Chain A
Amino acid sequence: MRILLSDHYRTARQSLDRARLRTLLTVTGVAIGVASITTILALAGGVNKIIDKQVADLGHSIAVIRPHTNEPTLADLSNPSPSNAYSTSPLVERDVKTVLDMPETDQAAPLMTLSGSVRTKYVTPKRSTIVATTPALESVNHLTLSDGQFIDSVTKQNTAVLGTQLSIDLFGTEQSVGQTFLIRGQSYTVIGVLKRENKPINYNNIDFDYAAVISLTSGKLFNGGVAQIQQINVKAKNGTDMRAFSHKIDQALQKNHDGQKDSEVVTDSAIAKPTSNLFRWVSSVMTAVAGISLIVGGVGIMNIMLVGVSERTREIGLRKAVGASNLTIVSQFLIESLIISALGGLLGFISGYLVAFFISLVIPYDPTFTWSIVGWAALLSLGVGIVFGLYPAFRASRKDPIESLRRYH
């Protein structure tokens, strides 16, 4: 059968052009759906890209030891205080020592985050993190300094290294070496400032641009003399079999912890996996919402196509009388709804990226562009056009030409 594509396209454009406002509103409906899906995919892609890059940068010689947490369930989302929220980390200083004693270990750095205010006499920055660690962190994490030095074994107790942004927030400058500020009321002197990292999402769950890094010894003083470690980053010697190594660490730590499996060792891409399942839940809920808005857009198409079909009953009757088959009528109306949904898809794709870019101004990562997002936007919008255009098109084709032509006599 002839499909008459170009003719249908011409007809559809003419009829859509005649009901311009109506078409525009329907297109907007689809566009909103496609835009929200594009935004979500672009931003989620942005997160994945950052993480992927970090995995690549880490190479294959890093293992991360974290406290073992149960997989959160959906119920945990609605529960304001899941059981593990207030539990303390089982990792202690002895574990660091155990790991350091292993022959495969090149270096190991514990990360202990502390709560408490970081301020000067005049300002209290809104955002800051206190990290207590050992000098090894500098090389394990590839941290670089823009000024001064990193904490080392001979630096005094009350010294700290600041992240760039924290330094600016505290002192208004990146050149803050020698200045003093307060951590939980204790006076600390700045001995170094880190280079700006701009990696707010990373496997340490610490944004070093906002961190005040102090020595583990100082950190312990704030915590009643006990190091309570959130994470240990281990750098293995070159050529180490990471799987065997991580298994070995795992065994050793279990022995330390009375045979209790309360920590886990991750390597390679597992490190980069978001530690919070909340992220995954939120993104799937957002996708569902976007999907619903796409369906709403599709219902809009169906609605407007049904109006168009009944308005053009006589035209349909005439076209059938002069030789249009049912199939050509179906394809004529299907192409019309496809034009609406394709326009909506295009508009939605563009505005989705605009929204993503605006959102990325306030969140710490950028949207990505991949062809798969283009593919999804195209597939979804055309799919909506077909699914919601089929019924009106079939209704049009089923019209009895005699009835239709008699209608407006």
Chain B
Amino acid sequence: MAKSASKPVIELTDLKKRFGIGDAEHYALDGVDLTVNKGEFIAIMGPSGCGKTTLLNIIGLLDRPTDGEYLLDGESVEDLRGGQASRIRAGRIGFIFQSFNLIERLNVLENVALPLTYSGLPHMKRIQRASDVLKSFHLQEREYYMPWQLSGGQTQRVAIARALVNNPSIILADEPTGNLDSKSSHIIMEELSEIHKRGNTILMVTHNPNLTTYATRVITMLDGKIDTDTAEPREAALKVSTKRPLGKSAKTKKKPSKRKGKKS
């Protein structure tokens, strides 16, 4: 498998996000340090309200940190203006949502082609690219279906195709299987590990411990901090167990939920 741990795609240093003011003030992220290397498939776990989604939003440039540093592909995103941030979203980030978020009045092909609109490709090229991506998901015969004509699993696969269509540096998935039954969930996870094998970097938030088996690295969060990390490079000796799953993929089963409750 092709994940060379060479170049960090994402580097977060002491990232903080504060919500509310005065009495209601609280930190959704309270000093997160995280380095994501190219080709990693990271699952982020944790109870509700621990800051997983906030972290994902900040990494996806939908939100801004209150404090701390965020380097995307080695560049700081702190001083980006709105237009620049949206251009990065268009070109380097792919989103997968729990609720799929396909546009109802567009057909499958147009939905997949949507992100390309904002990277300035001509219409025909966009449709062609979208069609190619759909083909790799074996969805080409669904190209002209409308979203409501698809099953939940198919809808999410279309959404994954949409996230991939612009060849992003990183794919952010916020509970991609949250609305699916377990069979569809596994199909989706197979799909994700498939695109991971093709060399994509994936950051996935999930509640389902079973799904972490597909990931190469599992992070748990608690109260805005990273609680455990199966690949903490600096403190590797302390944290990383022998069962470290780097290099393994879907087949190897393990119980990452056991590995909880240390410190950070």
Contact of A321 with B60 in the complex, beta carbons under 8 Å: yes
Q: Is there a chain B Cβ closer than 8 Å to A314's Cβ?
A: yes
Q: Is there a chain A Cβ closer than 8 Å to B261's Cβ?
A: no
Q: Is there a chain A Cβ closer than 8 Å to B250's Cβ?
A: no
Residue in contact with A322 in the complex, picked from B89, B98, B106, B123, CB distance below 8 Å: B89
User: How many angstroms between the C-alpha atoms of A408 and B101 in the bound complex?
Assistant: 10
Residue in contact with B83 in the complex, picked from A14, A314, A326, A408, CB distance below 8 Å: A326
Residues of B near A323 (CB, < 8 A) are 86-87, 89-91, 115, 117-119, 166
Residue in contact with A408 in the complex, picked from B63, B99, B115, B120, CB distance below 8 Å: B99
Total number of A residues with any Cβ neighbor in B under 8 Å = 27
Contact of A322 with B115 in the complex, beta carbons under 8 Å: yes
Q: Is there a chain B Cβ closer than 8 Å to A327's Cβ?
A: yes
Q: Using an 8 Å CB-CB cutoff, how does the interface string of A304-332 with B read, 1 for contact, 0 for none?
A: 00000000001101111111111110000
Contact of A320 with B117 in the complex, beta carbons under 8 Å: no
Chain B nearest CB from A9 CB (Å) reads: 11
Q: Which of B63, B87, B95, B117 has the most CB of A within 10 A?
A: B117
Residues of A near B166 (CB, < 8 A) are 323
User: How many angstroms between the C-alpha atoms of A317 and B82 in the bound complex?
Assistant: 14
Chain A nearest CB from B53 CB (Å) reads: 8
Contact of A405 with B82 in the complex, beta carbons under 8 Å: no
Q: Is there a chain A Cβ closer than 8 Å to B2's Cβ?
A: no
Residue in contact with B57 in the complex, picked from A18, A318, A402, A409, CB distance below 8 Å: A402
**Which residues of chain B in 86-122 are interfacial with respect to chain A, using CB atoms and an 8 Å cutoff?**
86-87, 89-91, 95, 97-99, 101, 103, 105-106, 114-115, 117-120
Q: Is there a chain A Cβ closer than 8 Å to B246's Cβ?
A: no
Contact of A320 with B105 in the complex, beta carbons under 8 Å: no
Between A and B, 5 residue pairs with Cβ closer than 8 Å are A318-B114, A323-B119, A326-B82, A401-B62, A402-B63
Q: Which of A2, A314, A318, A319 has the most CB of B within 10 A?
A: A318
Chain B nearest CB from A328 CB (Å) reads: 7
Given pairs A322-B118, A326-B82, 7 additional interface contacts (CB within 8 A): A18-B105, A319-B118, A321-B101, A322-B89, A324-B90, A401-B62, A405-B97
Q: Is there a chain B Cβ closer than 8 Å to A57's Cβ?
A: no
User: How many angstroms between the C-alpha atoms of A328 and B118 in the bound complex?
Assistant: 9
Contact of B83 with A1 in the complex, beta carbons under 8 Å: yes
Nearest-CB residue, chain A, relative to B54: A402
**A402-B99 contact in complex given A7-B123, A326-B83, C-beta closer than 8 Å:** no
Contact of B87 with A325 in the complex, beta carbons under 8 Å: yes
Q: Is there a chain A Cβ closer than 8 Å to B162's Cβ?
A: yes
Q: Which of B60, B86, B91, B118 has the most CB of A within 10 A?
A: B86
Q: Is there a chain B Cβ closer than 8 Å to A81's Cβ?
A: no
User: How many angstroms between the C-alpha atoms of A329 and B181 in the bound complex?
Assistant: 35
Residues of B near A324 (CB, < 8 A) are 86, 90, 117-118
Contact of B86 with A14 in the complex, beta carbons under 8 Å: no
Interface residues of A (CB under 8 A from B): 1-2, 4, 6-7, 14-15, 18, 314-315, 317-328, 401-402, 405, 408-409
Q: Using an 8 Å CB-CB cutoff, how does the interface string of B149-173 with A read, 1 for contact, 0 for none?
A: 0000000000000100010000000
**A315-B99 contact in complex given A1-B83, A325-B87, C-beta closer than 8 Å:** no
Residues of B near A401 (CB, < 8 A) are 62
Residue in contact with B98 in the complex, picked from A6, A18, A409, CB distance below 8 Å: A409
Nearest-CB residue, chain A, relative to B172: A321
Contact of A321 with B89 in the complex, beta carbons under 8 Å: yes
Total number of B residues with any Cβ neighbor in A under 8 Å = 28
**A14-B87 contact in complex given A322-B115, A326-B82, C-beta closer than 8 Å:** no
Residues of B near A409 (CB, < 8 A) are 98-99
Residue in contact with B105 in the complex, picked from A15, A317, A327, CB distance below 8 Å: A15
Residues of A near B114 (CB, < 8 A) are 318-319, 322
Nearest-CB residue, chain B, relative to A2: B120
Q: Which of A15, A320, A325 has the most CB of B within 10 A?
A: A325
Q: Which 8 A-B pairs have the closest CB atoms?
A: A323-B90, A323-B118, A325-B86, A322-B115, A323-B89, A325-B83, A318-B101, A401-B62
Contact of B99 with A322 in the complex, beta carbons under 8 Å: no
Residues of B near A402 (CB, < 8 A) are 57, 62-63
User: How many angstroms between the C-alpha atoms of A314 and B63 in the bound complex?
Assistant: 17
User: How many angstroms between the C-alpha atoms of A317 and B86 in the bound complex?
Assistant: 12
Contact of A14 with B95 in the complex, beta carbons under 8 Å: no
Chain B nearest CB from A4 CB (Å) reads: 7
**A327-B83 contact in complex given A321-B62, A405-B101, C-beta closer than 8 Å:** yes
Residues of A near B83 (CB, < 8 A) are 1, 325-327
Chain A nearest CB from B186 CB (Å) reads: 23
Nearest-CB residue, chain A, relative to B56: A402
**A322-B90 contact in complex given A4-B117, A14-B106, C-beta closer than 8 Å:** yes
**A321-B95 contact in complex given A315-B103, A402-B63, C-beta closer than 8 Å:** yes
Residues of B near A14 (CB, < 8 A) are 105-106
Residues of B near A314 (CB, < 8 A) are 101
Nearest-CB residue, chain A, relative to B120: A2
Chain B nearest CB from A18 CB (Å) reads: 6
User: How many angstroms between the C-alpha atoms of A325 and B162 in the bound complex?
Assistant: 18
Chain A nearest CB from B38 CB (Å) reads: 21
Residues of A near B119 (CB, < 8 A) are 323
User: How many angstroms between the C-alpha atoms of A108 and B155 in the bound complex?
Assistant: 91
Chain B nearest CB from A313 CB (Å) reads: 12
User: How many angstroms between the C-alpha atoms of A128 and B42 in the bound complex?
Assistant: 97
Chain A nearest CB from B48 CB (Å) reads: 13
User: How many angstroms between the C-alpha atoms of A373 and B87 in the bound complex?
Assistant: 43
Residue in contact with A320 in the complex, picked from B86, B106, B120, CB distance below 8 Å: B86
**Which residues of chain B in 28-80 are interfacial with respect to chain A, using CB atoms and an 8 Å cutoff?**
57, 60, 62-63
Residues of A near B99 (CB, < 8 A) are 405, 408-409
